[in-house]
Amino acid sequence: PPAFMLTQQYRMHSDIAQMVSATFYSNKLTTARVTEEARRHPFPANFVAVRGNEERRGASTSLINEAEANAVVDLVEMLVRQGVHAQSEINVLTFYNGQRALIARKLTAAKLPEVQAISVDSMQGREEDVIV
């Protein structure tokens, strides 16, 4: 059967979409005008370097990184406490269930129970204002 490529996206900030388009789609992916107008955040993507070590605890095969989990909670706290975003507008995305559980515990301890820590698989098809 023939293959078709969708060339217009409606979810990501256009700066993020440009990076994805150049990396994976030979610059063929564009952002719909309605999406460009709705997603005007001045910092659509930021990367934070965290020194830490991945480890496995007990018999688990899932990885965790304590330093990374602490940095995530600190960033979420800053966004919420400074009134930049409500807890319900933020999701924390991680690849490993062990890390997801660790971050969820730390978010609860930091009195941020509405912030969801979820796996990449669970995020499929969903949207959120802020992804950490």
Using one digit for the tens of pLDDT, what is the confidence trace for 39-56? Answer: 877 778 888 899 999 998
Q: C-alpha angle with apex 44: 29 to 41, nearest 5 degrees?
A: 110
- pLDDT value at position 66? 96
**Bridge partners for 114 per DSSP:** none
SS3 36: helix
Helices within 10-127 (DSSP H only): 14-24, 33-38, 66-81, 97-109, 120-123
pLDDT score for 75: 94
* pLDDT the model gives residue 4: 87
pLDDT at 108: 97
Identify the pLDDT of residue 24: 94
Q: How far is CA 86 from the centre of its chain?
A: 16
Q: In a 3-state reduction of DSSP, which class is residue 87?
A: helix
The CA distance from 115 to 84, in Å, is 14
Provide the pLDDT for residue 77.
Answer: 95
Per DSSP, what are the bridge partners of residue 55? 64
For the chain, which ranges sit under pLDDT 50? none
Global model pTM greater than 0.85: no
Distance (Å, whole) CA 85 – CA 62 = 30
